[in-house]
Structure 1
Amino acid sequence: MSMHQGRERLVVVGGDAAGMSAASQARRLKGPEELEIVAFERGHFTSFSACGIPYWVGGAVPERDDLIARTPEEHRARDIDLRLRTEVTELDVAGQRVRARDLESGAESWTSYDKLVIATGARPVRPELPGADAPGVHGVQTLDDGQALIDTLTRAKGRRAVVVGAGYIGVEMAEALIDRGFEVTVVNRGEQPMSTLDPDMGRLVHRAMEGLGITMVNGTEVTEILTGEDGRLRAVATRHAEYPADVVVLGIGVRPETALAHAAGLPLGAHGGLLTDLAMRVRGHEDIWAGGDCVEVLNLVSGQEQYVPLGTHANKHGQVIGSNAGGGYATFPGVVGTAVSKVCDLEIARTGLREKDARRVGLEFEAVTIESTSRAGYYPGASPMTVKMLAERRTGRLLGVQIVGREGAAKRVDIAAVALTARLTVEQMTALDLGYAPPFSPVWDPVLVAARKAAGKVRGS
């Protein structure tokens, strides 16, 4: 038991999805007389949806506040001592305390803890580029970032935007900028957009993006961001060309924000994220938990740790941490790697392993790709869909699925996510009793058509 009047103190570092879910869940289990909860957040907002920022920038979501799940006032009403605009600058693990700086006044103070939650999130990758800090160059990690980008778009003299990177954020921001009436060029290091897909599936996304009037420049690295005499953004340069720009959005992805944890000697994985056990406790530390975009998670298909910064996992981590820190019990077993996205009406979905992931962990596999439709071919509105499936050679265990199509592609991947979690074979999948009526799918669902083809190939091998 600690010194403060017989009650324990839980300190949370980071006030977004994982951190505030943990605080809320711990509070459900223990009242303020038993557990004091102090949460530090360096930004202006708590419990917001970073995933929604591209849709707010593009105008599909009208108001910033629509993206806030719970306001600071709502958290405080539940006896959580939330300190906004306060940045934790040091973790003293041996002394069980954290040092924090008030960003308005600059004042620093130490706060002791009995239990600590590290939910420091991720930071956008800012390339070491000349000019990367110029006004008009934006990352989109927080609501503050989103607001800054919208302000730039509103003030921009010209209508030319360059997006650097073509992962989820890059692709979603490209669509948002098109919706805002900008001419958009996407500069991408990979051979195709969406490196979370195999290149043959990424090519379908490339085609769709060009169909929207987006200029795709693949296989190219940005070397410099150029500014004019007035210090204003002028263009994005690669080795071979210059692309004029009035605004630049960095969509190169994110890295775990673990500098504090690293300085405190906590264990980090190969991707720079904190390593935890199944209860989300930091390995080797009884009273410290970590979750959200600052941790690595177990991929249940490959059996390896992976870095998967997604809001779904962050919220689950918070629930698990809050249950454990609040005296209950919960675990987070891992992920299969499901993610969906869209570019206008093109839906992009993936789960499990890509070809290169399977090769890297030493799995031999058969790969099949099929073309089908979202509904019965004769039913109005049926649109084409491409499904790629990987199955392990010999055993036939499902290893991964990628789907690109118009309506109905994205949520179909959930069938595969469940099959991966249950370790089904493609043969077993062919017998799944999925919902059928002509408005929803052909009589053989596209996922089952792919499973049949994969099962045949496995038998043949």
Structure 2
Amino acid sequence: MGAKQRMVVIGGDAAGMSAASRARRMRAPDELEITAFERGRFTSYSACGIPYWVGGEVDERDQLIARTPEEHRRRGIDLRMRTEVTEIDLDRQCVRTRDLDDEDGAQERWHGFDHLVIATGARPLRPPLPGIDAPGVHGVQSLDDGQELLDRLEERRVRHAVVVGAGYIGVEMAEAFCHRGIHVTVLERAEQPMNTLDPDMGALVHEAMNGNGIETVTGAEVTEVLTGTDGAVRGVATAKGEYPADVVVLGLGVRPETGLARDAGLPLGESGGLLTDLAMRVRGQENVWAGGDCVEVLDLVSGRERYIPLGTHANKHGQVIGRNVGGGFATFPGVVGTAVSRVCDLEIARTGLLEAQAREVGLQYVAVTIRSTSRAGYYPRAAPMHVKMLAERRTGRLLGVQIVGREGAGKRVDIAAVALTAGMTVEQITALDLGYAPPFSPVWDPVLVAARKAAGAVAEDAREADGG
């Protein structure tokens, strides 16, 4: 038997602990020593569930935790909480750490590794605005963040909330405040909410948010966070006016947390995310791996690297890394950019490319939008649904789908995600054998209706290009 190897993991959430757990299942402690460092107070939790915990739909914080530090330790992983990695030394193959609860800093230590896993996640965007660091301004990226926000809501009589940014986190947090009976204003600098959709589909979200009592102001770039005599937040200022706030949540998106990797000279992409090969090994390195919200991934539709921070990807990255470190072999082939969200009773989904993204990579396309219903039109509670579909000119290859509608709309995007992964054309999609019954779908499912219209648009475009 060879010498015991050392696996060091930086980050104790989805990617990091999935990698550690998978490697431990494959190799015993006398073969592989696994040490993981997490600077926060929680590990292996669902960050995606934080808005629903804040809104009261999830009762307890611990319901979001898949595995506690104690459970990881019982499985043979030396998990060090409240421990921050401050430096990576690739030449010496070691990392430097410090104990965040040690005020005098005497507990800085070096730890050697044979395999290093970087799973440092992402950080919320926090623009350098006056008042941005005032008490009452919150990012929502970790359970620690969620707990701090809830503590504020419980300590103060919060009547007005402002959410800055109308992306996934922004609209989900707006819904959470609605559930708590708090008046909420969403400020978005773009022309429509949800920049993960095309503007025409975002307009449907805008209409629904206002209809649900969420004041949604677009074209409103924040210039200052206003504070009171106590130094705490009292409002938010934009060129369009001022909005009162007892609490402010930043929903401006995230950036990869790759400062350690950058300082170590590891390769980063345009977004600042780490670049890896298909095995999730950092490019140019033999024993350094990375996964989760700190990496860029291959977009299978455009063929380019993109930054798409989602928990679904992070868990898969961890499984791939753990299998490879454990002596097996696995790859992560890429993504098609699928995401689904909800604001009140409106479901929002997308996969593949938006129009702007298709243009950016030089793809020529046709775009169609259809309006259908979630169930057979005569069936009770049939609700309207809009489906937008992009197809490549000439070939008819599916490029992207966006769906906005009520109950039953969101998860229909999975049909399109599978079709994108398989490289199907819109004509081929029209022949898919999908399940049908009046409580679930019209005879022609809305995705198939959109595919049929897109196939017609591709054919018409080809006739016009040929002069027919």
Quick check: TM above 0.5? yes
Give the match for residue 311 of structure 1. 311
Matches of residues 15-414 of structure 1 in structure 2 within 5 Å? 15-105=12-102, 106=105, 107-414=107-414
Q: Structure 1 CA distance, aligned partners of 2:416 and 2:230?
A: 53
- The 3-state SS of whatever aligns with 2:293 is helix
Give, in angstroms, the shift of residue 448 of structure 1. 0.3
Tell me how large the CA RMSD over aligned residues is: 0.9
**Which of 10, 15, 18 in structure 2 is aligned with 1:13?**
10
- The 3-state SS of whatever aligns with 2:166 is coil
Give, in angstroms, the shift of residue 340 of structure 1. 0.2
Give, in angstroms, the shift of residue 394 of structure 1. 0.3
Structure 1 residues 39-81: Cα deviation after superposition (integer angstroms, max 9, x where no partner): 0000011100000000000000000000000000110001100
Q: Structure 1 CA distance, aligned partners of 2:39 and 2:139?
A: 17
Q: Which amino acid aligns with 1:59?
A: G
- The 3-state SS of whatever aligns with 1:342 is strand
Q: Structure 1 CA distance, aligned partners of 2:416 and 2:240?
A: 42
Give, in angstroms, the shift of residue 450 of structure 1. 0.4
Q: Structure 2 CA distance, aligned partners of 1:156 and 1:208?
A: 29
- The 3-state SS of whatever aligns with 1:135 is coil
Q: Which amino acid aligns with 1:361?
A: V
Tell me whether 384-393 or 149-158 shows the greater mean CA deviation: 149-158
Q: Structure 1 CA distance, aligned partners of 2:240 and 2:170?
A: 21
Q: Structure 2 CA distance, aligned partners of 1:186 and 1:156?
A: 21
Q: Structure 2 CA distance, aligned partners of 1:128 and 1:297?
A: 28
Q: Structure 2 CA distance, aligned partners of 1:431 and 1:214?
A: 40
Q: Structure 1 CA distance, aligned partners of 2:173 and 2:183?
A: 12
| Unpaired runs of at least 5, structure 1 | none
Tell me whether 212-221 or 391-400 shows the greater mean CA deviation: 212-221
Structure 1 residues 115-165: Cα deviation after superposition (integer angstroms, max 9, x where no partner): 000000000001111111100000011111000000111122340000000
- The 3-state SS of whatever aligns with 2:265 is coil
Equivalences, count? 458
Q: Does 1:439 align with 2:439?
A: yes
Q: Structure 2 CA distance, aligned partners of 1:386 and 1:404?
A: 5
- The 3-state SS of whatever aligns with 1:401 is strand
Give, in angstroms, the shift of residue 331 of structure 1. 0.2
Q: Structure 1 CA distance, aligned partners of 2:272 and 2:36?
A: 24
Q: Structure 1 CA distance, aligned partners of 2:232 and 2:286?
A: 51
Give, in angstroms, the shift of residue 178 of structure 1. 0.8
Residue identity (%): 76
Q: Which amino acid aligns with 1:460?
A: E
Give the match for residue 419 of structure 1. 419
- The 3-state SS of whatever aligns with 2:315 is helix
Q: Structure 1 CA distance, aligned partners of 2:324 and 2:309?
A: 22
**TM score, norm. by length of structure 1:** 0.99
Native 8 Å contact 1:156 1:247 kept in 2: no
Structure 1 residues 174-217: Cα deviation after superposition (integer angstroms, max 9, x where no partner): 00011111100000011100000000000000011001111111
Q: Structure 2 CA distance, aligned partners of 1:143 and 1:301?
A: 33
Q: Which amino acid aligns with 2:366?
A: E
Q: Which amino acid aligns with 2:169?
A: I
Give, in angstroms, the shift of residue 228 of structure 1. 1.1
Give, in angstroms, the shift of residue 322 of structure 1. 0.2
Native 8 Å contact 1:278 1:332 kept in 2: yes
Structure 1 residues 264-293: Cα deviation after superposition (integer angstroms, max 9, x where no partner): 000000000000000000000000000000
Give, in angstroms, the shift of residue 220 of structure 1. 1.4
Native 8 Å contact 1:22 1:318 kept in 2: yes
Q: Structure 2 CA distance, aligned partners of 1:191 and 1:31?
A: 55
| Unpaired runs of at least 5, structure 2 | 462-468
**TM score, norm. by length of structure 2:** 0.97
Native 8 Å contact 1:26 1:322 kept in 2: yes
Q: Structure 2 CA distance, aligned partners of 1:109 and 1:99?
A: 6
Give, in angstroms, the shift of residue 232 of structure 1. 1.9
Give, in angstroms, the shift of residue 451 of structure 1. 0.4
Native 8 Å contact 1:23 1:37 kept in 2: yes
Give, in angstroms, the shift of residue 380 of structure 1. 1.0
Structure 1 residues 377-406: Cα deviation after superposition (integer angstroms, max 9, x where no partner): 111111110000000000000000000000
- The 3-state SS of whatever aligns with 1:293 is coil
Moved over 4 A (4+): none
Q: Structure 2 CA distance, aligned partners of 1:336 and 1:191?
A: 25
Give the match for residue 465 of structure 2. none
Give, in angstroms, the shift of residue 258 of structure 1. 0.1
- The 3-state SS of whatever aligns with 2:411 is helix
Give, in angstroms, the shift of residue 240 of structure 1. 3.2
